[in-house]
């Protein structure tokens, strides 16, 4: 019997930076200013991270990253 290998979704440094700032409790507006992106881009990237991880919300993505030792 072959045991399937579960791969972690790839998160780049920019993704992890967004998750770190969200974990600090910063609102999207503050995150956008810190990373020099528009609020719309931060929301879009955050949604993409959630979709990649299969989680419903940004805070769930933060929890996922912490549990997997990324934050």
Question: Hey, where are the domains in the chain?
Answer: 13-67
Q: What is the largest CA-CA distance in the chain?
A: 51
Q: Which CATH architecture group holds 13-67?
A: Orthogonal Bundle (1.10)
pTM of the model: 0.84
Answer whether residue 24 shows pLDDT above 70.
Answer: yes
Give the span between the Cα atoms of 41 and 69, in whole angstroms.
26
Per-residue pLDDT of 25-69, as tens digits, reads 999 999 999 999 999 999 999 999 999 999 999 999 999 999 999
Answer whether residue 7 shows pLDDT above 80.
Answer: no
């Amino acid at each position: 019997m072959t045991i399937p290998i579960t791969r972690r979704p790839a998160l780049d440094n920019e993704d992890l930076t967004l998750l770190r700032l969200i974990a600090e409790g910063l609102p999207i507006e503050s995150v956008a200013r810190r990373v020099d992106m528009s609020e719309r881009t931060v929301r879009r990237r955050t949604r993409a991270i959630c979709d990649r991880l299969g989680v419903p919300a940004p805070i769930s993505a933060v929890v996922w990253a912490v549990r997997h030792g990324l934050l």
